[in-house]
Structure 1
């Protein structure tokens, strides 16, 4: 066992978070910790991390167990160091050994002794054990996986926003490879490619991982056990989130039946006692039954902590067939081009998910559609379109002197106060919370108020930027249900794949400064992307003729092909482009072979450097070390060429598809 709770009770003042809870964490476990917002999930993680002490019971941790804890409070950290340097602090031990090796090397250059050679050999072994030869490569790999470009790595940490800083700290934490990794909403600041990369990385992680997340896709792929914090108790389910949902429903039904059966039994026994307690011949039996009832272990009724309330929309006007049309739109910032001569349209009934990596311009495009961002080109608004735009940067539009309830009343929905309070419950404002002033709310709470206001507007076109960021799983489900019943049209930006898969009937993606439109669901889009990726790999390997690959390209958008694609089975083949493609494929294969040879040489030299006998001959050692450096430099150069050729092949293939 790595860590655990043994009969733990934890209280915040008069509020009990958890009572008499026992939970043991074993090596390599993947656990999802779930519960409604405010129940105390983050508090439990802090108990494991040692930041809080229990009111009763014990938090058990092995002395040798190392714990890494990622949470939002880490954002108070600041430094002038580059993000690469910050992440490399995960290897402070290896860096210290490296400095010691450098000192011994200087002494060896002055005079060689057996004692120095022995010390060098020992330190080298320690350096290898600490992963010293690969730390920079591994750190770069993790940072790039989390969305940073090569040019970002040398930039100062303090230049980045909170979300990007959190990625750096996540990179550092997973590189430290603690025995127990505690992740509090790790996907909140990640785009889809980074979430997918993190999933793959953590699947091979050697330690145990506890994840607090509202992302059901992430939980389903990552965890094999769910621990639910519900009504101050921990309920353990041995499966992923889908298993938990089914199993919990079955448990609730069984408990409800057991409760009802026990209630029938109690009523029957109480009637007997009431009837015969005054009758001499039955009095002793009646007393005996009463004693049994008094000692009975009562089954609790199954109470729903938060009822399933429906959020209803009222759409006032029916718009024309086309809501918005973008023609020849271009958008440029100082250092980046977002769109170049892009066109698209949104039709009545469209429910569009705008997806892709951070920095591609998703939120910018949403603002262009909303008329909140200047651009070149034409944005044509349709007939009878009444829009509502939700974006977290617009929170300043809230009146800070209003209560939450007053703010909702001013939205003009004409709902009663009871209806508004019920709706606010869906957005995690229960009871007296509705009477709080806007000015005392946190950023996340203000975001939920703004989202609730958007939901009760009578708009027939919604623009939503990350609407699920501050919702728990239950509220997320209520929002999905509402959007599925919504009679209007919408476009949303979200990194929550479950949310997208349940709400969108069309996918937009910004690729090469154009808007690519996929007419289908998220699952269909993923399948199409996987087929396209497989086709590209076949093309890159040169194992199939170009004509054959082009022939397999899907046709028009009616069957899921992005509508900006102009090719098809009957498209004319550009012979010059085909010739260039074949040339690049050949070069790609040569570079692949070079990389394989260089990696083999690098592995052989690392083996030599880890052999103590290498240091018996100073000249041989210097020669091996120089060879190792040269191979590393050559690898970096060939890798760069490899990436350029691969991008060229992708471009040529795109032109011919």
Structure 2
């Protein structure tokens, strides 16, 4: 299909002090399956918008293809799903049905109102629409947010089998690793290309970062040596300058000095030494300019307050229902320092279990659950739209340290200028980070997190893994990301339908 080429592309938003891209260059082949990687707020979605000419920019972006963006905008979700799709783009029904079958999805949902579909079902029908069009290059922005583990595997295989290229933004490392053959990384306002999947990118970037760290160490040692030498020469020069005003006659020696000759020699020596000092300073400047600004992942803080209870949750033959049972009976114990992950398909009852443990489940239940009285729980919710107000008001309302809240938010990638924005006016990604930062700052013996990774970039996930591995808190987690769970969970419970 051709190439997409960025030449000296510069772009930044007016309300941000720093540019997102600064004279960035990149050439990509449209047959590649590209994963787009970068920290939150560094410009992943903005780059997709630049390709679609949404924003004016400096430099040039050339391409021989037109673009389609996922998720597509929906005007009237109350209509039948097929009618909704036809409003977005004219497409034959057999094409949509074919794509849904490739995703192992029942095409009967085309005849249901779009608003009645689950998040995963909406994702699938919009992807089916995207790939029914073979005349545009797909730009896929966060398709995994509402997909369970099984659905992610289906979509990963679906994208892997596609013959055409695309650009994919996703926070799920396993998903990206399975699907892409090249990675575009946004690094320090530049666009870097890596050949291979996400694991290859991590390995290559790690090697490059280590090389730059080693080079920085050598440069800093050399700069220190040069500064020490320059300081010695400056002191020597100052001493020689004072020497020309020394004594003209030394008593008892018979020696008489020519003040003019001494002054001339001292002046020449001083001039040479100052030149050497100046040269040293130039060398130091040159070396300092070679130092690389290496991005690091800052360690978060987690206010874990271990309980004196050894067992925090005991579940025996628990079964929940809304008229019909959600899953087969389950039993488990959550011991202090363990992290249990609950897995299951969408609608299997994962969040229902959390609601039951928190006393907010409204359906029917059988079985026994024991939780010690007065256990402090910190909860990350899937839905957090009721977080409102300024961050200072929010911290006060939840009895949190304002300083710790802001500190974790900044480490999670929320820019400082956003701190003055009311929570309800923040982006969904920023609001999710507020919910997560609240949980991290809450003193608790038990952390219950319901899909904590939605809207977080892969670097945020690594931050969470690092702090969990360091602190070893007691946790109950619902999450679909395999890599995350493999790194932090001590036990996995899989819900089964009856």
Short-chain TM bin: 0.7 to 0.9
SS of corresponding position for 1:318? coil
User: 1 CA distance for matches of 2:21 and 2:131?
Assistant: 29
Check whether the contact 1:462–1:491 (CA below 8 A) recurs between aligned residues.
Answer: yes
Render the CA deviation track for 1:236-286: whole Å, top value 9, x for unaligned: 333332232332233233334434545526648856986789549958985
| Correspondence list, 1:93-242, <5 A | 95=92, 135=95, 137-142=97-102, 145=104, 148-160=105-117, 164-178=121-135, 180-242=137-199
Verify: 1:315 aligned to 2:313, yes or no: no
Verify: 1:381 aligned to 2:366, yes or no: no
Q: TM-score, normalised by structure 1?
A: 0.62
Tell me which residue corresponds to 2:292: 302
Tell me which residue corresponds to 1:27: 30
Check whether the contact 1:191–1:495 (CA below 8 A) recurs between aligned residues.
Answer: yes
Higher helix share goes to which structure? 1
Render the CA deviation track for 1:96-141: whole Å, top value 9, x for unaligned: xxxxxxxxxxxxxxxxxxxxxxxxxxxxxxxxxxxx9x63651341
Verify: 1:249 aligned to 2:241, yes or no: no
Query: How far does residue 505 in structure 1 lie from its aligned partner after superposition?
Result: 2.0
Query: How far does residue 42 in structure 1 lie from its aligned partner after superposition?
Result: 0.9
Tell me which residue corresponds to 1:360: 348
Tell me which residue corresponds to 1:70: 70
In structure 2, stretches of 5+ residues that fail to align are 238-266
Tell me which residue corresponds to 1:48: 51
Q: TM-score, normalised by structure 2?
A: 0.80
Aligned partner of 1:60 among 49, 59, 62: 62
User: 2 CA distance for matches of 1:420 and 1:512?
Assistant: 40
User: 1 CA distance for matches of 2:168 and 2:278?
Assistant: 51
Check whether the contact 2:319–2:325 (CA below 8 A) recurs between aligned residues.
Answer: no
| Correspondence list, 1:252-651, <5 A | 252-262=209-219, 264=222, 267=227, 279=269, 282=272, 289=279, 293=283, 296=286, 299-305=289-295, 307-321=297-311, 323-327=313-317, 329-333=319-323, 337-339=325-327, 342-349=329-336, 350-374=338-362, 375-384=364-373, 385-396=375-386, 398=387, 400-401=388-389, 403-412=390-399, 415=401, 417-513=402-498
The structure, 1 or 2, with the larger RCO (C-alpha pairs under 8 Å, 6+ apart) is 2
Aligned length: 459
Render the CA deviation track for 1:478-525: whole Å, top value 9, x for unaligned: 212233344543221112221111121222222123xxxxxxxxxxxx
User: 2 CA distance for matches of 1:176 and 1:79?
Assistant: 21
User: 2 CA distance for matches of 1:84 and 1:140?
Assistant: 12
Render the CA deviation track for 1:461-485: whole Å, top value 9, x for unaligned: 2221111112222221121223334
Alpha carbons of structure 1 residues 58 and 294: separation in structure 2 relative to 1, 3 Å: farther
Query: How far does residue 38 in structure 1 lie from its aligned partner after superposition?
Result: 0.8
Alpha carbons of structure 1 residues 307 and 418: separation in structure 2 relative to 1, 3 Å: farther
State the Cα RMSD in Å. Answer: 3.5
Alpha carbons of structure 1 residues 88 and 434: separation in structure 2 relative to 1, 3 Å: closer
User: 1 CA distance for matches of 2:464 and 2:458?
Assistant: 10
SS of corresponding position for 2:413? coil
Check whether the contact 2:219–2:291 (CA below 8 A) recurs between aligned residues.
Answer: no
Check whether the contact 1:88–1:172 (CA below 8 A) recurs between aligned residues.
Answer: no
Check whether the contact 2:19–2:189 (CA below 8 A) recurs between aligned residues.
Answer: yes
Render the CA deviation track for 1:120-163: whole Å, top value 9, x for unaligned: xxxxxxxxxxxx9x636513414x53xx4454231122433566
Alpha carbons of structure 1 residues 302 and 497: separation in structure 2 relative to 1, 3 Å: same
Tell me which residue corresponds to 1:536: none
